[in-house]
Amino acid sequence: MAPRRPPNSDRPSSAGRPNDVACVDLFCGAGGLTHGLIAAGVPVVAGVDLDEACRHPYEANNRGATFYARDVAKLKTSEVESWFGSAAVRVLAGCAPCQPFSSYAQRYETKGTERWGLLNHFARLVKQLEPDIVTMENVPTVTKHEVFDDFVATLKRRGYEVWYGVVDSANYGLPQRRRRTVLLASLSGPIGLREPDSSPPKTVREVLDGLPPIGHGTSHEADPLHTTSRLSPLNLKRIQASRPGGSWRDWPTRLVAECHKRDTGRSYPGVYGRMVWDEPAPTLTTQFYGFGNGRFGHPEQDRALSLREGAILQGFPETYSFVPEGERIQFKVLGRLIGNAVPVELGRVIGESILDHLGRAPRAQSTARRGRNGRSDRPSSAVHA
């Protein structure tokens, strides 16, 4: 470990105030994490994602944050340095694409797979930039993979105090059961996610009951995102036979799909179901707009969730813009952006935890690294209450 710099830091003495903090959000998507961080008071200056479809929702809803269409694997340190500017406290956030880590993938060989390597590129940027705080969000099973262990080991070797754990976002105000791994790391001492509130979880009714009713395959004229996929005649009969919290097992035999009648299909009851009004929603996927893709049927209207309803269940405000006015709505594109988003409420809690850490952390000795010429590459990261 490199020697620690003494506490007579040459960084600004105001470090730790929100206006002296800058965050860069890697793999930013449509801006769920960024929106939550900003709501908490953490200024986000840049978001990075390879998907150009993220540009409009990211920049239209997150004032002060600029979208950069970049491949994180090719992202240069100098560019990220320029985005941070002269901020006293630098926060590097990110959620590497989670598909290879999910329970659906069920494969734990990480070597040689491009998408696994994105977490290694996140680690590369941490080593090169040495931000004061690092945060990551991903699926619960990411902790089972070697690449995650390597990421944590990299942080610890660089002098970071590391906390991570699996949390249910419903315990932090999200109207959805969504278990995620959250990681927080700091050069200035112990850090962790704050404890959940004592209030009961929000329910589907609390956030969706006031939206105007629409039919399947239609849109609401006042909000193009409040639009639903069309049901086939057979699926319309199926949802009409469904009850909240139920599944295809509740249907008359004539409506049950042949694949579900076989023994191999009987173990998949969580599809073709309605949500329950007075409970949090089940975990949304990128195909939440399809009735047959999970328990994504509206509690009482004969249709699947609209894109707007999915966004609200992910914590996005009802006014969050996902496409420019007049642009055609594409279910697959927007379903992916919404379903893959970091829940806004979870982002807010991460931001609150970071600011709480900065506000209470004693002035700490920096762990600034030494460059090849033996001198410190960065000013001290010391913060004080």
| 214: amino acid identity, one letter | I
Cα(212)–Cα(222) distance, integer angstroms: 10
How many distinct structural domains can be found in the chain? Answer: 2
Whether pTM > 0.75 for this model: the answer is: yes
Cα(341)–Cα(171) distance, integer angstroms: 18
User: 27 with 159, same domain?
Assistant: yes
User: 150 with 231, same domain?
Assistant: no
- In percent, the amount of the chain with pLDDT more than 70 equals 80
User: 331 with 351, same domain?
Assistant: no
The answer to whether residue 3 is domain-embedded is no
User: 41 with 113, same domain?
Assistant: yes
User: 196 with 334, same domain?
Assistant: no
Identify the pLDDT of residue 30.
98
Identify the pLDDT of residue 115.
53
Identify the pLDDT of residue 378.
37
pLDDT at position 307 over 90: yes
Of 16-20, 120-124, 259-263, least confident by mean pLDDT is: 259-263
Mean pLDDT of 356-370: 55
- Whether the CB-CB separation of 327 and 310 falls below 8 Å is answered with no
Identify the pLDDT of residue 258.
73
* Phi–psi pair at 279, nearest 5 degrees: -135, 160
Identify the pLDDT of residue 264.
45
Q: How far is CA 310 from CA 136, 165, 333, 339, 353, in A?
A: 23, 25, 13, 8, 26
User: 314 with 176, same domain?
Assistant: no
User: 195 with 208, same domain?
Assistant: no
98 is catalytic: yes
The answer to whether residue 153 is domain-embedded is yes
CATH of the domain at 39: 3.40.50.150
Which of 23, 28, 54, 98 is catalytic? The answer is 98
**Domain hosting residue 42, numbered range:** 18-200+342-360
Mean pLDDT of 98-106: 45
pLDDT at position 83 over 90: yes
Cα(312)–Cα(322) distance, integer angstroms: 12
Identify the pLDDT of residue 250.
83
Mean pLDDT of 327-338: 97
Of 101-105, 128-132, 312-316, least confident by mean pLDDT is: 101-105
In the chain, which ranges are E strands?
21-26, 44-49, 66-69, 89-94, 133-138, 161-168, 179-186, 219-220, 223-227
User: 278 with 346, same domain?
Assistant: no
User: 158 with 290, same domain?
Assistant: no
The answer to whether residue 221 is domain-embedded is yes
User: 151 with 231, same domain?
Assistant: no
